[in-house]
Amino acid sequence: MTSHGGIILAACSILALAGCAGEAERPTAEVARANTLIEQAEKAGAQKYAGAELQSARDKLQQVEVAVKNGKDEQALHLAQQASADAELAQARAASGDAQHAAEEVEKGTASLQQEADRGSATTNPDGTPR
C-alpha cells in the first residue's frame, strides 16, 4: 500500500469513528433504571403521597419510546433521566409521607397513654393507695 493509500484509509477511519461518536446511543440503561425506580416508588406508596410525580415519570417514559422511534436518541436519554428523577422524588415523598403518618400515630399513642396516666393519678393518693 502506498503512503497516500494509508493516509486516506486512516482519514476515512477517523471520520467514521467521529461520526459514530457524534451519535447518541439508545438510552437502554437509563430507561431500565427509570422503570426500576418507578416500580420502587409504587411499592413505597408513591401513588398515595406523590401521585403527580409518579405520573410524570410514567408520562416521560412514554415520551422516551416516541423519541426513540423517531430517532431522537439524545432527547430520549434526557427524558429517561427526567423520568428517573421524577420517580426518585416520588419515592422520597412516599417515604416522607409514611414517616409523617407514623409520627402522627406515635403522637396519638402518647396522648392516649398520658390520658390514662392522668386518670390513674386522679384516683390514687400520692403514696399509690386508692382514694
For 20-39, what is each residue's pLDDT tens digit? 444 567 889 999 999 999 99
- CATH placement of domain 25-120: 1.20.1270
Distance in angstroms between the alpha carbons of the first and the last residue of the chain: 114
Q: Tens digits of per-residue pLDDT, 49-76?
A: 999 999 999 999 999 999 999 999 999 9
Q: What is the spatial distance between Cα 47 and Cα 53, in angstroms, rounded to a whole number?
A: 9
Q: What is the spatial distance between Cα 41 and Cα 7, in angstroms, rounded to a whole number?
A: 55
Q: What is the mean pLDDT of the chain?
A: 80
Q: Count Cβ atoms below 10 Å from residue 76 Cβ, excluding itself.
A: 27
DSSP symbol at 24: P
pLDDT of residue 25: 79
Percent of the chain with pLDDT over 70: 71
pLDDT of residue 120: 67
* Ranges of each domain in the chain: 25-120
pLDDT of residue 11: 38
pLDDT of residue 122: 63
pLDDT of residue 17: 41
Angle at 39 between CA 36 and CA 44, to 5 degrees: 125
Q: Tens digits of per-residue pLDDT, 95-106?
A: 987 677 778 778
Q: What is the spatial distance between Cα 126 and Cα 92, in angstroms, rounded to a whole number?
A: 49
Task: Answer yes or no: is pLDDT of 123 > 70.
Answer: no
